[in-house]
Structure 1
């Protein structure tokens, strides 16, 4: 702890009290601005290519199209700033190293941490700004962008169903879909919380969504309808079906959707998501109590078991009965087991929703914190690379950024399905790159070696030779 306090004091002193710090800040700021413009342009162009076909042919005014891209600029900036930070740090410290200014500073008695301190402070400031941006500005822009997108798509009536999220803007229904390919749906759950004292939950392996005149139609296939009397849990019915149709009037739906303030997880502030988590935790706890109530008559000590362990026991006993390995006097157990498993499926749907919100909460901090981590990686790399400028800076930035987002997206998928905790899913990429950065700082501080990237030069030289030989072959052929 004492050593960390000394480092913190050095960083503060050399970040603002040392004349060389202002020089380093200037070296960072201009590449940072340039990098933001370049990265934003690339991401915006990619977004334009992916969405332009959805806008064409709808007779939209130019103002609406410009507003559509303006509202989507927020998430593009949220992605481009961390990457621009890495590019700027690589270029700034690379140029200082190339001109031997790093060596001159160290010869003048400035320690290595002090040389890095302006970059670290720049990363911290960028991190703080992006945390505010991600929590206060980005959700509002995302929400307005989705509303505008919905209004545009309403020219071709469709339903605002996103895979992996509850749609709660349909009166009396909550709808969850695992996957969606246009009109084709997979893993459909339709939940009616309260209908004259009855809870109705519909599960279907697959389904199809159609809009016909003034109605939205769900055609569901291979599923079950679970109906529970909330006053008497014993009155539980399960109806299996090959095909089931649900018809919703479009006029009523459109009215609810227009008045609805529903937001997705990426359209919420941290406060909003915490409130949503509390709401889903109450629903989950209610379902857990139902499961325990139904199981306690057949399984000893069910009240004190973890829900996952209890479900494993239920499934195992059900399988043993079906195979004839076990006989129970209670003939209702198989029916009860089916009810318990059905309720557990709904329990896990709520758990996945909670995990999604927790992932987004951690993401609002972990992605901005990557600005600091990228400084720890980029500064020593820039010093070791020295030559290469924007090309090498961009190449290394893309490599580390892709690596970072592969871990981030993979962790998000694992956390959504409760394989890992949301905290570790979102912070592991930062911890791994921070460890790499710490090693590079230690290596650069004591070894003072540079990376020449000779293998890149060899590849470029080989490509030039091949290009020249092909050109000569064409000359001989023309003769």
Structure 2
């Protein structure tokens, strides 16, 4: 019997691994294409090499694994158990006395291993992949468009120069009917070069675009002593124009500038960042107490108010009670004006300091919230694999349909629910309307009871997705109405 069960475990694992690998890479490819569709406008037309595009694809593929893995597991589990149910293999297994829970055990252990691996991947690989991917994407998005000069078009992508060429030979360097508008000095089209023909090429270091022009004219408009424009025209047989195009080259920004972001940190670094932020908040609070305590003092040691203590003590020896509102009356008009001015200045200083402190406090708490969200995200993505498996496996046993038809529809439906709940919780946590713990775990906590219900229904051979069950239900309802109509007659 043990040998039979071991063979059964191997059969289940073998049946699951094929759809799992295929669906995972399909889902990953779909998410990757969605990413490129999102940033297509920022990447097209910049002359980026195939090597850079492939490098970005590799890094982004790693960052998209936490999203693709749960959906791949959900779809593969529904397909696997749906195919087993469609071929009546589940019926044969249950009839031999093996329960559904025992049947799920090998895959459950495998998915637990996936969950552990997913957590380690999210903690150690994802931060490095994020650092590489987003720093590379930043440089690619900020690269200037390629300087492809098209014939018959005014090319405005060369900084202060607008260039039009009539035609270009097949070698790509010989040009004719050339117009160059130089706007580097401002003033509109006041500096123009026109030539019959010439050559256009890049320097050896790719930093300069060189025009060797022949048989042309230079037109320049200048102001005379009376402020009127006069035109200067100069003919040339040969004239060279060099344009700096070094800014069109691709340059990499130092990755150290991106390391402070929470997406580039593992759990140890996030814990350190959380502790540092708490210390910074405490320091700001201590500075606030110290500074406000200083501002609300009356500066009793100022030269004009050095007799304040003596006057207050003298007033307190009288039988009449002295209230704070009468304290100002102890001074003459000039001193009262002095005190009033100092009180107003102190109040304004406190207000400004409180405003600055409130802004700093808001920034610190926002950072703290982001660190906590990222900390929980490393666990929620991993745990989602288990939850969606517990939904997909029994759902496949209930629907008893394999392939990519109904399983695909149900998988997308559940994943959309998961994605909406996850996005809503993350948005609420980001806005501070919900703690990071509750916001990041909202989707998995809401789906876990659904997984348990579906698991129980599958164990009891629920007829939810059986056509015959609904036909029989309709017949019963129809029979009730027929009996009532017969009784009324």
The answer to whether 1:358 aligns with 2:355 is: no
Distance 1:341 1:16 in 2: 73
Structure whose CA Rg is larger = 2
CA contact (8 A) 2:258 2:264 kept: no
Distance 1:291 1:409 in 2: 37
Distance 1:115 1:263 in 2: 47
* 5+ long unaligned stretches in structure 2: 146-246, 297-323, 327-343, 469-489
Equivalent of 2:399 in 357, 370, 385: 385
Aligned residues: 320
Equivalent of 2:280 in 268, 280, 283: 283
Report the counterpart of residue 342 of structure 1 in structure 2. Answer: 356
Equivalent of 2:56 in 68, 71, 76: 68
Report the counterpart of residue 91 of structure 2 in structure 1. Answer: 103
Q: Counterparts of 1:211-290 in structure 2 under 5 Å?
A: 260=257, 262-290=259-287
Q: Tell me, what secondary structure is at the counterpart of 2:97?
A: coil
Task: Report the CA distance shift for 1:140/1:60 in structure 2 as closer, same or farther (over 3 A).
Answer: same
Report the counterpart of residue 408 of structure 2 in structure 1. Answer: 394
1:118 deviates by: 2.3
Distance 1:430 1:328 in 2: 61
1:426 deviates by: 1.4
Please report the RMSD computed on the Cα atoms of aligned residues, expressed in angstroms.
3.2
Equivalent of 1:124 in 109, 112, 118: 112
Q: Tell me, what secondary structure is at the counterpart of 1:18?
A: helix
CA contact (8 A) 1:28 1:88 kept: yes
1:153 deviates by: 3.6
Deviations 1:87-142 (A, max 9, x none): 01101111112222222222211122111212322221111111111111111111
Distance 1:37 1:29 in 2: 12
Task: Report the CA distance shift for 1:328/1:55 in structure 2 as closer, same or farther (over 3 A).
Answer: farther
TM-score by length of 2: 0.59
The answer to whether 1:58 aligns with 2:55 is: no
Distance 2:359 2:4 in 1: 57
Deviations 1:31-73 (A, max 9, x none): 1011012212211222222223322222222211221222211
CA contact (8 A) 1:89 1:119 kept: no
1:397 deviates by: 1.4
CA contact (8 A) 1:15 1:21 kept: no
Task: Report the CA distance shift for 1:404/1:292 in structure 2 as closer, same or farther (over 3 A).
Answer: farther
CA contact (8 A) 1:280 1:350 kept: yes
Distance 1:70 1:453 in 2: 45
Q: Counterparts of 1:441-452 in structure 2 under 5 Å?
A: 441-452=455-466
The answer to whether 1:49 aligns with 2:37 is: yes
Report the counterpart of residue 388 of structure 2 in structure 1. Answer: 374
Report the counterpart of residue 123 of structure 2 in structure 1. Answer: 135
CA contact (8 A) 1:43 1:76 kept: yes
Distance 1:396 1:64 in 2: 37
TM-score by length of 1: 0.61
Distance 2:262 2:3 in 1: 38
CA contact (8 A) 1:362 1:423 kept: yes
